[in-house]
Structure 1
């Protein structure tokens, strides 16, 4: 067991907790309405609700999209911090995952695309976090348009890689779990996009709900890398940076969810004999 298991857990815990704190701050500061509110008005007179309590009159400008929650200070400061720190942790997770797949298997275009899409997702997160939607709308939407599809493609590629290097029943169960999370992410992202382009208050609010589901789902997916990162060694990153072909049998036979360096009983003896 290595300390690297802390990285994906920290990414999920820090980001999920952080965006919900941003949401709570935005609600209490009357910058958005609560996610459970489905009643909207075309216009509102001066809101008489007390500070520290949710707004009593909501317009389309108060729909609790994640980006909208982080548009105004003081919550915008925390939102930017989450975007920057989260993006850095995403890059670290993607690089370690890329190196670990090479360590256990071989270089492949799927693994390379996984690294590229993961880093692209991180780049989009930086743009989303630092260019608030109400102050730099074009750049913010470009960042969101990069981050969301790239994040979805990343988790899809990781599902394929998980099946490719799976060796034990537990490995396959993890692959099944990731497929389920990817399906939820796909449907929530598609529905969010469909609902967002409509002017209906209810559909706009539904788009916000789907966006929250998508974001939390992707972050939970990143957290599942804790299962494999228990087997990361000090040489894993070095292996990922080196140009090398198929790995040795002792590495290839190592179970993704195991921290032991011993070979598994179901290794192919013929492949060992060929070395």
Structure 2
């Protein structure tokens, strides 16, 4: 009996070993892979949309800034990485899957940090500062869980692999909660916000047009002076 128990204990790691990668491989086989790709693609589109709305809202309130532009770029790069994660499953295209994850997670972390900085720059009331505090806490939690997930992921321990999966899930949920905090600002978005975005995108063209129109009278006056001579 004792030998049977000992042999069973020796088989426990081999029995539970496939479960250690269950979280990362839940979207590798159809039909789960189809839903996994669909969810990641929709998530990428929402990240692009939220990043663009946030970019327009900051321009409307504070004008153009480098931090705002970097935040938009980080969000869109994160969306590209998320698309790779969803459409290249780890069992069939491991390299591309890990490249997408390596792009999506750090840029998502950068997006959270830049948006927290912008929140404090735009803060005018106590509610705005409390929103900044909340986003700072969420950003710190996301950073800690992302670091622990990466550290535990490279370990061979069965327990640490599970801890890495839990940290990854906590990171994803934390990022989703952070995106949910944008409802405070997006409630004030109107058509004027999109007009500001269009004006910002056409600013170089309008500048060229103004410069060309301003140089035209000078050319006419110069030609008229030559004619008088």
Give 3-state SS (helix, strand or coil) of 1:68's partner. Answer: coil
Counterparts of residues 74-93 of structure 1 (less than 5 Å) = 74-93=31-50
Partner of residue 10, structure 1: none
- The answer on whether the counterparts of 1:67 and 1:132 sit within 8 Å (CA) in structure 2 is no
Change (3 A) 1:66 1:94: farther
Partner of residue 134, structure 2: 177
Higher normalized contact order (CA 8 Å, seq sep 6+, divided by chain length): 1
Deviation at 1:160, TM superposition (A): 0.3
Determine which structure has more spread, i.e. the larger CA radius of gyration: 2
- The answer on whether the counterparts of 1:188 and 1:211 sit within 8 Å (CA) in structure 2 is yes
Q: Distance in 2 between matches of 1:230 and 1:195?
A: 40
Change (3 A) 1:207 1:184: same
Deviations 1:168-201 (A, max 9, x none): 1111101100000001000000000000011111
Deviations 1:192-220 (A, max 9, x none): 00000111111111100000000110011
**1:234 aligned to 2:179?**
no
Change (3 A) 1:186 1:65: farther
Provide the alpha-carbon RMSD of the alignment. Answer: 1.6
- The answer on whether the counterparts of 1:87 and 1:122 sit within 8 Å (CA) in structure 2 is yes
- The answer on whether the counterparts of 1:67 and 1:128 sit within 8 Å (CA) in structure 2 is no
Partner of residue 187, structure 1: 144
Q: Distance in 1 between matches of 2:102 and 2:197?
A: 29
Q: What is the count of residue pairs matched by the alignment?
A: 192
**1:111 aligned to 2:82?**
no
Deviations 1:150-179 (A, max 9, x none): 000000000000000011111110110000
Compute the TM-score of the two structures, normalised by the length of structure 2: 0.80
Change (3 A) 1:225 1:66: farther
Change (3 A) 1:65 1:213: farther
- The answer on whether the counterparts of 1:118 and 1:150 sit within 8 Å (CA) in structure 2 is yes
Compute the TM-score of the two structures, normalised by the length of structure 1: 0.67
Q: Distance in 1 between matches of 2:24 and 2:60?
A: 38
Would you tell me which structure has more helix in proportion to its own residues?
A: 2
Residue 215 of structure 1, aligned match among 166, 172, 189: 172
Q: Distance in 2 between matches of 1:201 and 1:215?
A: 22
**1:126 aligned to 2:88?**
no
Deviation at 1:73, TM superposition (A): 2.0
- The answer on whether the counterparts of 1:65 and 1:208 sit within 8 Å (CA) in structure 2 is no
Q: Distance in 1 between matches of 2:176 and 2:139?
A: 11
- The answer on whether the counterparts of 1:69 and 1:75 sit within 8 Å (CA) in structure 2 is yes
Change (3 A) 1:94 1:66: farther
Q: Distance in 2 between matches of 1:174 and 1:143?
A: 30
